[in-house]
Amino acid sequence: MSSAKKNKFSKAWLQDHLNDPYVKMAQRDGYRARAAYKLKEIDEAEGLLRSGQIVVDLGSAPGSWSQYARNRLMRNGVLQGTIFALDLLPMDPVPDVHFLQGDFREDAVVNALEALLNGRKVDVVLSDMAPNLTGIPSADAARIEHLSELALDFAKRWLQPQGAMVIKTFHGSYYSQSVKEFKQAFQQVKAVKPQASRDKSAETFILARVLKQAVG
C-alpha cells in the first residue's frame, strides 16, 4: 500500500472512530475502549454476569471488559464477586480487579492464579483476545485459531461445570472448525454479533455454557 493510500485510510479510520457513537459513549461512561459495549450487549441479552461470580478476563488490556464486569458485580459500592484479568501486556489497574501480567500457559501465571483461586473454580471466562494480523489470510487464520484453542483449553481447566465463556473470533476458513471444537466441549454454543461490533468487521463472539464433561 502506498503512503498516500495509507494516509487516506488512516484519516478515514480516524474520522469513523471519532464519529463512532460507542467511542463517545465509552468516553462519557469512563470505559477505556468501546469494546465494553459488546460485552454489555451480550450480558444483557444472555444473563451472563451475576453477583457472587468468579470471572476471568483473558487478554484483558486495556481493561474495558474488566471495567464492565466490575460495574456489573458492584452492589452498594462493594464488589460482589471476584475478577481476575490476565494479559501479556501491562494494564493500568482497575479497582477491585486482580491483574496478572504474563502468558496464562506459563507456570508462574498458572501458579499465581491457582493460589488466588484457592481451590475455587471460575464461573465465567471472557476473552476479547485478537492476534496481531499480518494481512496474509492463511497465517492470520492460524493465529486466530490458535488463540481460540488456548482460550478453550483454559476454560476446560478452570471453569466450574455449569460455567460459561464468551470468546471473540472471526469468520474465516477456520471458523466452522472452531465452533465444532466448542460444541465438543460445551452443551450450549451460539454465535452472537453485538450491535456494538462494527458492521465491516468479521468479528463475532461465541457464547458457550455448561461443560459436557460435567454431564452425569
**Residue 156 annotated among the catalytic residues of the structure:** no
Is the pLDDT at 47 greater than 50? The verdict is yes
Say if strands 97-101 and 122-127 run parallel, antiparallel, or are unpaired.
unpaired
The alpha carbon of residue 209 and the mean position of all alpha carbons in its chain are separated, in whole angstroms, by 15
| Dist CA 130 CA 168 (whole Å) | 7
- The tens digit of pLDDT for each residue in 102-128 reads 999 899 999 999 999 999 999 999 999
Which of 11, 30, 7 lies closest to 19, judged by CA? 11
| Residue 170 amino acid letter | F
- The tens digit of pLDDT for each residue in 54-83 reads 999 999 999 999 999 999 999 999 999 999
Please indicate whether residue 145 or residue 96 has the higher confidence score (pLDDT).
96
Which of 103, 121, 202 lies closest to 164, judged by CA? 121
Is the pLDDT at 16 greater than 70? The verdict is no
Contact indicator for 56, 124 with CB cutoff of 8 Å? yes
| Residue 164 amino acid letter | A
Q: Output the DSSP codes for 10-60.
A: HHHHHHHHHH-HHHHHHHHHT-SSTTHHHHHHHHHHHT---TTEEEEEET-
Catalytic-role residue among 5, 38, 121, 168: 168
Please indicate whether residue 213 or residue 15 has the higher confidence score (pLDDT).
213
Is the pLDDT at 216 greater than 60? The verdict is no
How many CB atoms are closer than 10 A to CB 76? 5
Q: Report pLDDT for 9.
A: 47
Mean pLDDT of 168-178: 87
pTM: predicted TM-score of the whole model, two decimal places = 0.88
Mean pLDDT of 130-152: 83
